Structure 1
Amino acid sequence: MSTDTVVHQLAIRVGNKLRDERLMLATAESCTGGMVAAAITDISGSSAWFERGFVTYSNLAKTEMIGVPATLIEQHGAVSEPVAKAMAEGALRNSRAQVSVSITGVAGPAGGSEAKPVGTVCIGWSNRLHTGVETQLFKGDREQVRTQAAAHALRKLLEFLEQRER
């Protein structure tokens, strides 16, 4: 199964869960440039559970569109767990959704550093009561890193939604 197919299948599963729970989703994407939102809107009827998506590629967009403090970006860098957390929470504050997912990372081939090599991606998810974040290191070229990040973000979002039942 190709990674694109995996992303699509995960988007369907997330959508089914959101629809069953009567929840709306907002996304805040940087390095994936809207891939998660695109996978979601490829699904007929997704307007029942997808509220909006923010593509906040630049630091200024993160600040202006979803309220990520510029000082947070200066202190930690755009690719960091504190920024991924602020993106997930900002997507909720600036939407009518109850759940969000955020992605910020270094897709490459340039932009990496020793501390944050190409493939470093921070993912956040939130439901207004709890926000989780994690950092992953994906391998491959730019397209592969972006696709793996989108798939992993959807997988983590699905786990987050399923934990609400326990």
Structure 2
Amino acid sequence: MTKLAVGDVAPAFTLPDPDGRPVSLADYAGHRVIVYFFPAAMTPGCTIQAVDFSAALTQIAAAGFDVIGISPDTVEKLARFRSQEELGFPLLADPDKTVLGAYGAFGRKVLYGKEIEGVIRSTFVVSVDESGVGRIDVAQYNVKATGHVAKLRRELKIAALDD
């Protein structure tokens, strides 16, 4: 299984958003992007994580980061999820798991004591240069949904509104 590390070239991607529009990593040229992979929209852990990212979006953007969430869900399910939770960042559909695999976010994992194949909840911070090529600044695998955004904000020194 692929495992990306700091300094690696970030795999390029183009995936559809909930409206069917293609979104590419190269679209974020000159930006730093938090790309996170989650197992399934509208499940408890994934909802917590997405809502936490959405709630912190103002501070994340003020610190110079964009956020993209990627899952193997269909665009239709992601559209319902975005609407239901009022999420303010792009969600991208990767139903064939190509991008998940390229980032090492799909593979063998242990769930409730059993080894299964599935989405490995992962987060990457990618610096995208002016030509659209990304480099991995942060690579985190097997992150916990609850508290992850707060932990990431501390690590990236992204202040809360009341700081």
TM-score range, shorter chain: 0.3 to 0.5
Q: TM-score with structure 1 length normalisation?
A: 0.41
Q: Which has the higher contact order (CA 8 A, sep 6+)?
A: 2
Q: TM-score with structure 2 length normalisation?
A: 0.41
Higher relative strand content = 2
Higher relative helix content = 1
